[in-house]
């Protein structure tokens, strides 16, 4: 099975590159910020610096673990889904479920190990850069020695391995337990029902987020950093809840905007709608990073604006902690936003390249390349609109409570610029990734695409 | 010898004409010549079968003749109009309404229902779907009760009937079919062949079909035999026994020739 795993790795460089990139970036982020803990707990560091450094580590790691795990699971899930045909063939050739689970775990282990080990030097350098920034901002004493130790390695390697192992086990098991016939059928139709468990978790996270949102302007009003961090949690929980429910959201959106889109989009729009209806599960993959990106970026940045307004209007006194929180906010937002953006591009490109066979078929029966691109464009429109709406809801889940807590107004007087920039980034990334990858598959002649994509 | 199927009709009326069409695969490594200067003319309303050992270039011939692949040299004419291979969009527009293709692997779109698959070519062309024709074709291929199913829910035979219905509904002048009965049992294969017969006799369409099966070939007006990229023989009004005999003879000849070229 290990040899099978190795040769399969060689064959599927593209989708493994996606997993690799995900693990590599995730491990880098975790190691960089966990090394702040090592630095902060070293001998000779003042209590204030220790607090600054370790808090930053806890916050970023808390979010980071969640998002890295999510990213790895989504990529792995996608790559395994794309191989359901191959898995079905292996099974019909006599592979037992255990062997398939082992094959997937084996492949993932090789990729994860490679990515995590290569992330060590990069994580080291990135952590060093963060400490240097903190020193030059006078948030940490000059002469603080950078340490990259046990915490950095155990978090960076441990968490990524654990996340990958769990994701591989779950996807591997799911892939191996469906019957051969079922696997062939669903791989062809691409339909998968959302499990009750998934819907349950989605609702659970939405409730958690609502709970946090209610607490912020009431019980947790005027509690300084705590108010802000719980408001941030509301956004995270709502993002995760909506990401879990995203296949349903996508189907609803497709039904709602489908009529409008079809009115002026013709056959490509009609195809896009059919594709989304049939494969909402697969297409919802890119919604996770979109929702997280919009929720995180818009949520945190507007909270910072609300906070700064409160300070400048004298409603709030600014402490050293607040300054740290501000830096922290920007660090978290930019790190996680970059990660989400890369996961987004990753998933969009992998999913699109995988469809070269389908695009080839579409062209063979009379679709012009332009019509294929337009089909993908309409799919992207529906996906992006869904993701933006869900991401905006997630952002509002932290903005409204926080604004109420600090200014008694639900909507801050902050202008739409930040939001528009966030939206523009998502739109550009999604369309560029989807349409770029589609155009690339169109460079092949349709017959080549069919022959190559078995 | 290479001029087939004209049956004395004027060449200008040919629905398909290939003029010294060659195809060489592989610009890197060892090039494979799959078609060697093939000439061919088919009159409208004819049913032609193409037979030959595997690797003899049958699929390549269909792909080049139908505009799915570009010949390395030579010209292809559909109903007197030359096919230009420059731009995929133009080529696709040219093929629409003129050419239907039935693939051995069906090539149905998985996310569309049977009805949607069948009407897709017309939609892509921006034409209204001809409901009467759709109903007639669907009834003929016996798919009325399957219209709202997805391809994955159908058997191989049913999927192939969907693919044929798709080729018939847009009413093309020529239908190309690459081993359409290859994946079907005898009973289903006979149904598919009846559909082609009917397309030719009743709708006046032209069918050109690759097959390995002498019985399938015997439905055609004319059988062309392809060996190493060349049409080496033709047989009008074929019957299964004579076709099988000819195939056996060609098989031996190819084996002999290959043995000679190896020694
Ligand atoms: N895409 C391709 N690249 C290289 N060689 C090809 C390709 N397609 C077909 N060939 C070669 O061309 C020859 C004819 O192939 P094909 O037309 O598929 O034969 P048939 O359909 O009669 O079995 C064979 O030698 C085959 O290996
Ligand atoms: Mg062939």
In a domain, B142, yes or no: yes
Instruction: Give per-residue pLDDT as tens, A143-177.
Output: 888 999 999 999 888 888 887 788 777 777 766 66
End-to-end CA distance of chain B: 30
The pLDDT of residue A259 is: 74
The pLDDT of residue B186 is: 85
In a domain, B11, yes or no: no
Across the interface, whether the CB atoms of A365 and B107 are under 8 A apart is answered yes
Confidence check: pLDDT of B189 > 50:
yes
Ligand 2 center to residue B181 CA distance, Å? 13
Same domain flag for A292 and A166: no
Same domain flag for A281 and A416: yes
Least confident of A56-60, B168-172, B186-190: A56-60
CA angle A65, A69, A72 (to 5 degrees): 140
Shortest Cα distance from A259 to chain B (angstroms)?
Answer: 17
Q: What is the mean pLDDT of residues A222-226?
A: 74
Confidence check: pLDDT of A25 > 50:
yes
State the helix-helix crossing angle for A13-40 and A2-11, rounded to 10 degrees. Answer: 100
The pLDDT of residue A279 is: 83
In a domain, B5, yes or no: no
CA distances from A434 to A351, B51, B111, B214 (A): 9, 43, 19, 47
The pLDDT of residue A188 is: 44
- How many structural domains does chain B have? 1
Confidence check: pLDDT of A185 > 70:
no
In a domain, B7, yes or no: no
The pLDDT of residue A105 is: 78
Interface of B with A in 105-134 (CB under 8 A): 105, 107-112, 116, 120-121, 123-126
The pLDDT of residue A122 is: 95
Q: What is the mean pLDDT of residues B1-10?
A: 41
**Cβ B212 vs Cβ B206: under 8 Å:** no
The pLDDT of residue A189 is: 44
Q: Which of A195, A233, A243 is nearest to A213 (CA)?
A: A233
- The residue out of A145, A169, A190 marking a domain boundary is A190
The pLDDT of residue A94 is: 72
Confidence check: pLDDT of A300 > 50:
yes
Summary mean pLDDT of chain B = 89
Give the structural domain span for A316.
192-454
Same domain flag for A303 and A327: yes
Same domain flag for A293 and A260: yes
C-alpha–C-alpha distance, residues B155 and A264, integer Å: 36
Look up the CATH number of the domain holding residue B20.
3.40.50.300
Instruction: Name the residue with the closest Cα to ligand 1, atom 17.
Output: B57
The pLDDT of residue A184 is: 46
Same domain flag for A268 and A172: no
The pLDDT of residue A320 is: 66
Same domain flag for A80 and A207: no
Under the banding of pLDDT at 50, 70 and 90, the label for residue A90 is confident
Which residues form the pocket of ligand 1, taking CB atoms under 6 Å from any ligand atom? B 25-26, 32, 34, 52, 54-60
Q: Which range has the top average pLDDT, A58-72, A267-281, B216-230? A: B216-230
Distance of CA A32 to the CA centre of its chain: 19
C-alpha–C-alpha distance, residues B151 and A152, integer Å: 51
Same domain flag for A203 and A163: no
Instruction: Give per-residue pLDDT as tens, A323-382.
Output: 767 777 777 777 777 888 888 888 888 888 888 889 999 999 899 999 999 999 999 999
Under the banding of pLDDT at 50, 70 and 90, the label for residue A204 is very high
The pLDDT of residue A186 is: 46
Under the banding of pLDDT at 50, 70 and 90, the label for residue B24 is very high
Q: Is B152 on the interface with A (CB under 8 A)?
A: yes
The pLDDT of residue A54 is: 87
User: In this structure, which long-range contacts are made by residues A153-156, counting pairs with CB atoms below 8 Å and at least 24 apart in sequence?
Assistant: A153/A31, A153/A120, A154/A34, A155/A30, A155/A31, A155/A34, A155/A61, A156/A27, A156/A28, A156/A30, A156/A31, A156/A34, A156/A116, A156/A119, A156/A120, A156/A123
Residue B232 neighbours by CB distance under 10 Å:
16
The pLDDT of residue A167 is: 76
Same domain flag for A234 and A167: no
The pLDDT of residue A7 is: 61
Q: How many CA atoms lie within 13 A of A329 on its CB side?
A: 25
Report helix, strand or coil for B209: strand
Cross-strand bridge partners of residue B209: B49, B177
The pLDDT of residue B4 is: 44
> Given CA atoms A236, A239, A242, A246 in this order, what sign does their dihedral have?
negative
Same domain flag for A166 and A240: no
Extract the tokens encoding A247.
Answer: 């296949």
**Cβ B181 vs Cβ B19: under 8 Å:** no
Q: What is the mean pLDDT of residues A252-277?
A: 83
Confidence check: pLDDT of A142 > 90:
no
Burial code (b: 16+ CB inside 10 Å, e: under 16) for A257-271 equals bbeebbeebbbbbbb
CA angle B55, B57, B60 (to 5 degrees): 125
Q: What is the DSSP string of A298-360?
A: HHHHHHHHHHHHHHHTTSS---HHHHHHHHHHHHHHHHHHHHHHHHHHHHHHHHHHTTHHHHH
The pLDDT of residue A354 is: 80
Report helix, strand or coil for B230: strand
**Local structure of residue B178 (DSSP, 8 states):** E
Residue A367 neighbours by CB distance under 10 Å:
29
Same domain flag for A253 and A293: yes
Q: Which one of B24, B32, B178 would you pick to mutate in the ligand 1 pocket, going by the greatest count of ligand atoms within 8 A of its CB? A: B32
Same domain flag for A342 and A402: yes
Nearest atom in ligand 1 to the alpha carbon of residue B53 is 22
- The residue out of A161, A190, A219 marking a domain boundary is A190
Distance of CA B177 to the CA centre of its chain: 3
Instruction: Give per-residue pLDDT as tens, A40-71.
Output: 998 888 888 888 888 888 877 777 777 777 77
Give the structural domain span for B127.
16-262
Q: What is the mean pLDDT of residues A190-215?
A: 84
In a domain, B6, yes or no: no
Q: What is the mean pLDDT of residues B114-143?
A: 89
Q: What is the DSSP string of A274-288?
A: HHHHHTHHHHGGGHH
Same domain flag for A97 and A124: yes
Confidence check: pLDDT of B1 > 50:
no
Q: What is the pTM of this model?
A: 0.83
Residues of A in contact with B153 (CB under 8 A): 185, 189
Residues of A in contact with B121 (CB under 8 A): 365-366
Percentage of chain A lying above the pLDDT 90 cut? 29
Please tell me which residue, A425 or A219, carries the higher pLDDT value. Answer: A425
Nearest atom in ligand 1 to the alpha carbon of residue B23 is 12
Residues contacting residue A278 through CB under 8 Å, at least 6 positions apart:
A189, A190, A191, B110, B111, B150
Instruction: Give per-residue pLDDT as tens, A391-438.
Output: 999 999 999 999 999 888 888 888 899 999 999 999 999 999 999 999
Q: What is the mean pLDDT of residues A258-286?
A: 83
Instruction: Give per-residue pLDDT as tens, B74-122.
Output: 999 999 999 988 889 999 999 988 999 998 888 899 889 999 999 999 9
Residue A325, classified by CB atoms within 10 Å of its CB into exposed (0-12), middle (13-18) or buried (19+), is: buried
In a domain, B1, yes or no: no
Extract the tokens encoding A273.
Answer: 């709608």
- How many structural domains does chain A have? 2
Nearest atom in ligand 1 to the alpha carbon of residue B63 is 17
């Amino acid at each position: 099975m290990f040899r099978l795993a190795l040769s399969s790795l060689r064959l599927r460089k593209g989708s493994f590159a996606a997993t690799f990139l995900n693990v590599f970036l995730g491990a880098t982020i975790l190691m960089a910020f966990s090394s702040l803990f090592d630095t902060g707990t070293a001998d000779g560091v003042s209590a204030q610096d220790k607090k600054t450094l370790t808090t930053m580590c806890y916050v970023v790691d808390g979010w980071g673990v969640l998002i890295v795990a999510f990213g790895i699971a989504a990529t792995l899930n996608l790559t395994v889904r794309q191989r359901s045909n191959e898995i079905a063939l292996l099974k019909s050739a006599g592979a037992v479920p255990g062997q398939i689970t082992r094959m997937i775990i084996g492949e993932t282990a090789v990729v994860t190990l490679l990515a995590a080990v290569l992330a060590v030097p990069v994580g080291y350098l990135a952590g060093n850069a963060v400490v240097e920034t903190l020193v030059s901002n006078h948030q940490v004493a000059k002469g603080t020695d950078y340490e990259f130790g046990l915490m950095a390695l155990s978090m960076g390697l441990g968490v990524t391995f654990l996340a990958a192992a769990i994701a591989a086990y779950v996807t591997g098991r799911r892939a191996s337990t469906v019957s051969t016939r079922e696997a062939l059928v669903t791989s062809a139709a691409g339909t998968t029902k959302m499990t009750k468990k998934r819907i349950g978790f989605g609702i659970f996270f939405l409730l958690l987020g609502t709970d946090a949102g209610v607490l912020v302007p009431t019980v947790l009003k005027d509690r300084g950093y705590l108010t802000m961090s719980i408001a941030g949690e509301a956004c995270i929980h709502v993002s995760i809840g909506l990401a879990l429910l995203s296949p349903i959201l996508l189907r609803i959106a497709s039904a709602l905007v489908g009529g409008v889109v079809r009115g002026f989009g013709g056959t490509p729009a009609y195809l896009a709608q059919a594709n989304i209806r049939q494969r909402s599960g697969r297409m919802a993959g890119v919604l996770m990073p979109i929702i997280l990106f919009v929720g995180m970026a818009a949520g945190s940045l507007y909270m910072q604006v609300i906070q700064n307004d409160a300070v400048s209007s004298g409603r709030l006194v600014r402490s050293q902690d607040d300054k740290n929180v501000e830096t922290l906010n920007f660090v978290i937002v930019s790190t996680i936003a970059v990660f989400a953006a890369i996961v987004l591009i990753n998933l969009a490109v992998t999913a699109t390249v995988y469809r070269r066979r389908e695009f080839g078929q579409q062209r063979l029966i009379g679709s012009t390349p332009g019509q294929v691109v337009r089909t993908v464009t309409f799919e992207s429109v529906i996906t992006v609109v869904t993701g933006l709406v869900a991401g905006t809801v997630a952002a509002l889940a932290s903005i409204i409570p926080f604004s109420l807590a600090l200014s008694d107004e639900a909507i801050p007087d902050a202008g739409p610029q930040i939001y528009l920039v966030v939206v523009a980034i998502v739109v550009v990334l999604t369309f560029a990734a989807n349409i770029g990858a589609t155009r690339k598959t169109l460079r092949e002649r349709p017959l080549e695409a069919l022959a190559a994509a078995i | 010898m290479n001029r087939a199927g004209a049956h004395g009709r004027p060449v200008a009326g040919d629905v398909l004409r290939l003029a010294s069409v060659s195809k060489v695969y592989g610009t890197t490594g060892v090039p494979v010549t799959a078609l060697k200067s093939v000439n061919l003319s088919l009159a409208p309303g004819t049913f032609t079968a193409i037979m030959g050992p595997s690797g003899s270039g049958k699929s390549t011939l269909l792909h080049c003749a139908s505009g799915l692949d570009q010949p390395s040299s030579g010209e292809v004419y559909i109903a007197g109009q030359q096919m230009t291979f420059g731009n995929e969009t133009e080529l696709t527009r040219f093929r629409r309404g003129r050419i239907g293709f039935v693939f051995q692997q069906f090539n149905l779109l998985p996310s569309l229902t049977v009805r949607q698959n069948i009407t897709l070519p017309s939609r892509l062309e921006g034409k209204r779907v001809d409901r009467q024709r759709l109903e007639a074709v669907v009834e003929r291929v016996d798919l009325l009760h399957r219209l709202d199913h997805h391809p994955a829910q159908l058997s191989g035979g049913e999927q192939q009937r969907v693919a044929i219905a798709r080729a018939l509904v847009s009413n093309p002048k020529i239908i190309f079919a690459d081993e359409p009965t290859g994946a079907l049992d005898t009973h289903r294969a006979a149904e598919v062949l009846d559909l082609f017969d009917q397309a030719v006799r009743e709708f006046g369409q032209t069918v050109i079909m690759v097959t390995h099966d002498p019985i399938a070939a015997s439905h055609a007006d004319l059988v062309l035999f392809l060996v190493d990229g060349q049409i080496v023989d033709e047989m009008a009004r074929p019957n299964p026994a004579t076709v099988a005999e000819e195939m056996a003879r060609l098989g031996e000849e190819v084996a002999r020739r290959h043995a000679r070229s190896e020694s």
